[in-house]
Amino acid sequence: MKSRKIFICALAIVVSCLVLSGCMPNVNNDGAAGTGTTPLVTTPRTVTTTPPPNHTTPRTQTDEAAVGEIPSAANPFIMKELMSNSILMEFGDAAVCELRALSQQRNPYYPINRCLSDNSISTFLSDTKIGWGLGRAVDERNRPVDALAAQSKYGHLGAVFIDDKTENKIFLTFDEGYENGYTPLILDTLKEKGVRATFFVTYDYCKDRPELVRRMIDEGHEVANHSYSHPSFPHLSDERVREEVMKLHDYVKDNFNYEMRLIRFPMGEFSERVLALTQELGYKSVFWSFAYVDWDVNNQPESDEAFRKITAAAHPGAVVLLHAVSGTNAEILAGVIGYWEENGFELGLIE
């Protein structure tokens, strides 16, 4: 214990010297360092249209080129080097968190701003809001390259954008913010085709249409968490994130004797911090590798156009997002499932 304290104090002194000597950049509120210093983190540029309430849609496109990585040479208190040091691993979380607290006394806006414990070593997670959206580029198997890249980057935090291991599976998912009269037809089609799907529900949906939630469960579908009140999760405190997840989790458990394990964030907005928090709650965070503009009930796509768009995007490991408020989706669903199956795809639930 004595050696541990000596080690922490020594590291704290080193950091203090760096801060006082000006070696550590003074980071501004927008994540850019002071005059003459390269910005450490650049907030992604997003183009967003106003969504209708209780809907998730791929209407936000993130300019990945605008997202900067932290150069190790400019990294305040050199966390990458410290965290890879075997001595630091021996002393664990206390040293890193104490150093972080000391550093933030001088640099309160340091952009990598979360200190979480995995019982062995602390890690720093970005709180930059990301609005999930897909570009058009695909690989030789028709898989969106953006989804593959996101899966590689965030999979360790329990995120699911695409199943990059499967040869032929497709995962059909529906978002249920409110009932527009088409869910019974969708459930009829799924039952007729012998297909199971995942339904992401809000508290309002569960409260207003419990008979449909019960039918989903009884017919073998997965009921999943779409949050209690449909907020943008990156704007919430840790406590509010847990509340949004667990209030609905507990409601469904108490009223339907069913425990949810998957969540989809409203509007597809997330951050590394949010992914880590929901993972700590035992959840996987499910996004999508295909979606289209189907949520506007006053401007529904034509059936032929929607069918072509969905089937042309078929790919192994696809996580397909459809909105159950869409009359077009209900109309073409049987044909879409038939197309997938005729072309060698197998529909199933996310593992």
The residues carrying an active-site annotation are 175, 323
Instruction: Provide the pairing of β-strand 159-160 with 45-47.
Output: unpaired
Instruction: Provide the pairing of β-strand 284-286 with 159-160.
Output: parallel
Q: Amino acid letter at 128?
A: T
Tokens of 29: 């509120």
Q: How many CA atoms lie within 13 A of 95 on its CB side?
A: 27
CB neighbours (10 Å) of residue 63? 13
Tokens of 292: 């289209």
Q: Amino acid letter at 295?
A: W
- Residue closest to 132 by CA, chosen among 112, 161, 173: 161
Cα dihedral 96/101/104/109 (nearest 10)? 80
Cβ-contact 270, 145 below 8 angstroms: no
Task: State how far the Cα of 17 lies from the Cα of 86, in Å rounded to an integer.
Answer: 23
- Residue closest to 127 by CA, chosen among 143, 141, 114: 114
CB neighbours (10 Å) of residue 162? 26
How far, in whole angstroms, is CA 99 from its chain's centroid? Answer: 29
